[in-house]
Structure 1
Amino acid sequence: MSKTNSGFFFEDYSVGQTLIHAVPRTVSGGERALYHALYPARHALYSSDSFAQNCGLQASPIDDLAAFHVVFGKTVPDISLNAVANLGYAEGRWLKPVWAGDTLRSESEVIGLKQNSNGKTGVVYVRTRGLNQPDEVVLEYCRWVMVRKKDLDAPAPETVLPELSKVIPADQLVVPEGLNFSNYDFALAGEPHRWGDYEIGEKIDHVDGVTIEEAEHMMATRLWQNTAKVHFDLTVRPEGRLIYGGHVISLARTLSFNGLANAQMIVGLNAGAHANPCMAGDTVKAWSEVLEKAETATPGVGAIRLRLVATKGGEPFQLRTEEGRYRPEVLLDLDYWALMPI
């Protein structure tokens, strides 16, 4: 009997299956320092204890996307070790802040399956939850992944496509306990722009760019303990190691600071697509569009829904071709909710 793990293939999944992912991970200021070095993230709430305390929190939490990457990384050996591509996200919610010293673990439920017409791959839909040491759910999200079949003669499963919300209603967003932007320091945050200064339909070119280096991507992917073969093994993908999609998300989010410095906390992930592959040497730029705004019941806190688009060239604000396909330079199309001072 083999003691090694070759990962799950498409035929190994069944709807309703629960996957308990190894290995729990205690996060610390080390994750924050590396996260800020790699991207580099600089939203004030995640950079300064005193700034966070002035906003009603006990300290500066671990960055929302750093927590996402830790939870996501746990799932890779069971969900995407043999993946061709990570296709999309939906119904993501950040439910509790993650603090230095918290121990995170992940579990997933298979909620849908569909074999592709080529008979060689299929799409697996999962709902993943990240839990802390008291078993509180700190975040949850759905994603779907194209996974290889090992036995091409294995019968196709019954197709089950989950019904997923296109947008999380604003009243289902969770504002962290204690958060209050009434005394928000705009000078220290880096920009004066409030929730009320943004208009629905407004588009923002974030101007700056970051060229992805092979070494940085490899370090980042290892930091999140993401073991997907396409990110490491050139014999699996001879044309080059595919950049982890989450790496692109964090780069784009960091670039969005220039114009959205006060969109402090990501609390909802409505939809996301990795439109085209990203490779080392690509220069990532980003632009955003304001899709929706909503008030919350928390003093001074507004919710803003944003489309974040990462590209590897081309003019800003260009998303699709005349045929409706993503333009070849588009890397990421992400729809998310953030909290911002009113």
Structure 2
Amino acid sequence: MSKTDPGNYFEDFRLGQVIRHATPRTVTVGDVALYTALHGPRFALFSSDEFARSCGLGGAPVDPLIAFHIVFGKTVPDISLNAVANLGYAEGLFLRPVFPGDTLIATSEVIGLKENSNKKTGVVYVRTTGENQHGEPVLSYVRWVMVRKRDDAAEIPEQKVPDLKSAVAASDLLIPKTLDFSRYDFALAGAPHAFEDYAVGEKIDHVDGMAIEEAEHQQATRLYQNTAKVHFNQYERAKDPSGRRLVYGGVVISTAKALSFNGLQNAGLIMGINGGRHVNPYFAGGTVFAWSQVLDKALLEPGIGALRLRLVATKDRPCTDLPYKDDTGAYPPEVILDFDYWAAVPARS
């Protein structure tokens, strides 16, 4: 019997299957420093212990996307090692802050399977939960991924496409227990804009662009212990028409979120993920631009509001002259990410 693990292929999954993923990961200040070096976020709540304490927290939590990527990375050897592409996200909730020193583990349940008509691949839907060292859930999300079959002739005994919510309800968002924006320092945060200053339908061009190089995306993906072949194995990728390694979609999300600081300086704390799609492939060397649209807003409690934001990332084309979709409803080839999320923001009322 082989001692090595080639990863699961589509026919290896079963509805209701629960997978406890290997390699717990303790989050450190080194992870935070490297994440900052790779993606460039500037949100004050995650940058300064003193700023975070003024907001009622014990110190600076890690950026929620660090926790997301680490938990995601745990799932890759079991879920998407043999993936063609990661397709989307839904029903994401950040349940409690993660701080340096916390240890994260991940568990996934297979909630959907759908074989593609070519009989060579299929889509696997999983609900993943990340927990800390106390067994407390810190985040939960659904993702779906296209996975190769080992044997094209393999029969799939049971298939189902799960019925997923189009958005997380504002009433389901969880505010960190001690979070308090009553002493929020807008000057130190970088902008004066509060909950009341954003209007539903408003679009914000984040102006700046950031190129992602081969070494950077490879290093970032290794930081999250994501081992998917499409990001690293050039021998395998040479068989693909593109012949190039795909950039992990999480790198694009984090880069676009970092760019969103210019215009959303006070909306760094992600509370929920409504949906997300990597709508076109992205390869290293291109420059990422981003814009956001306010889709909805809700006052969660006095002093704390939530903005529902669509974050759109593009490659090699500034956002000022680029439509979100064309006349047929299709994404232009320059659009690489459509990410719908809720973020906490200080309110004056």
Coarse TM-score class (shorter-chain normalised): over 0.9
Cα distance per residue 1:242-290 (max 9 Å; x no partner): 0000000000000000000000300000000000011011110000000
Task: Tell me the equivalent position of 2:38.
Answer: 38
1:315 and 1:63 map into 2 onto residues whose CA distance is: 26
How do 1:1-342 residues align onto structure 2 when only pairs under 5 Å count?
A: 1-238=1-238, 239-297=243-301, 299-314=302-317, 316=319, 318-342=323-347
Residue 41 of structure 1: how far off its partner (Å): 1.0
1:304 and 1:22 map into 2 onto residues whose CA distance is: 35
- The answer to whether the Cα contact below 8 Å between 2:15 and 2:159 also exists between their aligned partners in 1 is no
Residue 324 of structure 1: how far off its partner (Å): 1.2
Give the TM-score, by structure 1 length.
0.98
Q: Residues 221 and 315 (structure 1 numbering): CA distance in 2 closer, same or farther, change over 3 Å?
A: closer
Stretches of structure 1 lacking an aligned partner (at least 5 in a row)? none
2:318 and 2:49 map into 1 onto residues whose CA distance is: 38
Cα distance per residue 1:83-108 (max 9 Å; x no partner): 00000000000001001110000000
Cα distance per residue 1:43-97 (max 9 Å; x no partner): 0000000000000001000110001010000000000000000000000000010
1:218 and 1:314 map into 2 onto residues whose CA distance is: 23
Residue 159 of structure 1: how far off its partner (Å): 2.3
Amino acid at match of 1:249: I
Residue 156 of structure 1: how far off its partner (Å): 2.9
- The answer to whether the Cα contact below 8 Å between 1:113 and 1:157 also exists between their aligned partners in 2 is no
2:54 and 2:187 map into 1 onto residues whose CA distance is: 13
Cα distance per residue 1:146-187 (max 9 Å; x no partner): 000001110133320111111111010000010011110000
- The answer to whether the Cα contact below 8 Å between 1:319 and 1:326 also exists between their aligned partners in 2 is yes
Residue 315 of structure 1: how far off its partner (Å): 5.0
- The answer to whether the Cα contact below 8 Å between 2:261 and 2:268 also exists between their aligned partners in 1 is no
1:44 and 1:143 map into 2 onto residues whose CA distance is: 29
- The answer to whether the Cα contact below 8 Å between 2:272 and 2:341 also exists between their aligned partners in 1 is yes
Amino acid at match of 2:271: V
Give the TM-score, by structure 2 length.
0.97
1:222 and 1:252 map into 2 onto residues whose CA distance is: 19
Aligned to 2:22, the other structure's residue is in SS state: strand
- The answer to whether the Cα contact below 8 Å between 2:14 and 2:158 also exists between their aligned partners in 1 is no
Amino acid at match of 1:234: Q
1:113 and 1:315 map into 2 onto residues whose CA distance is: 38
1:315 and 1:200 map into 2 onto residues whose CA distance is: 23
Residue 320 of structure 1: how far off its partner (Å): 1.2
Residue 307 of structure 1: how far off its partner (Å): 0.1
2:331 and 2:237 map into 1 onto residues whose CA distance is: 23
1:275 and 1:128 map into 2 onto residues whose CA distance is: 22
- The answer to whether the Cα contact below 8 Å between 2:295 and 2:308 also exists between their aligned partners in 1 is yes
Amino acid at match of 2:248: Y
1:97 and 1:315 map into 2 onto residues whose CA distance is: 34
- The answer to whether the Cα contact below 8 Å between 1:114 and 1:157 also exists between their aligned partners in 2 is no
1:69 and 1:263 map into 2 onto residues whose CA distance is: 19
2:255 and 2:284 map into 1 onto residues whose CA distance is: 13
Residue 318 of structure 1: how far off its partner (Å): 1.4
Amino acid at match of 1:151: D
Amino acid at match of 1:311: T
Percent identity between the aligned chains? 62
Amino acid at match of 1:339: A
1:261 and 1:225 map into 2 onto residues whose CA distance is: 29
2:251 and 2:263 map into 1 onto residues whose CA distance is: 21
